[in-house]
Amino acid sequence: MVMSVSSSRLWYSLILLASLSGPALAESELVAQPIAKTGPSCPRGYTPSGAYCMPRTGARFALEKQGEGICPRGYTPSGGYCVARPEARAALPKVGATCPRGYSPSGAYCVKRP
């Protein structure tokens, strides 16, 4: 009986972990990180540190504006940067005419598909 109780607890834990890992993995893609400072100021939520902008507590993921300066879907402009809104998905600058597998074009960017 001890074996079946511990086995059922293990399965319950694995199922719970699997159900939580999807959203947690998606959110982890948009963790605010230091970015190169371009221009005179940093995006909202970041502070200058030499040639970089360092995220403060609660800062959202940001990337440098590309091309015509229009941000990808789910991002809002902040100076020379695009800052992720809560519904944003991972984005990266588009290189060439196409996006990598799993991404869709959004102006000068590639945005991760859901």
Q: What is the pLDDT of residue 2?
A: 44
SS3 26: helix
Within the chain, which residues score under 70 in pLDDT? 1-28
List, in sequence order, every beta strand (DSSP E) within the chain. Answer: 35-36, 46-49, 52-55, 62-64, 75-78, 81-84, 91-93, 103-106, 109-112
Phi, psi at 109, each rounded to 5°: -125, 165
Q: What is the pLDDT of residue 29?
A: 72
- On whether the pTM is more than 0.75, the answer is no
59: left (phi over 0), alpha (psi -120 to 50) or beta: beta
Residue count of the chain, please give it: 114
Nearest C-alpha neighbor of 91 from the set 101, 78, 80, 105: 105
pLDDT tens-digit profile of 66-97? 988 899 999 999 999 999 999 999 999 999 99
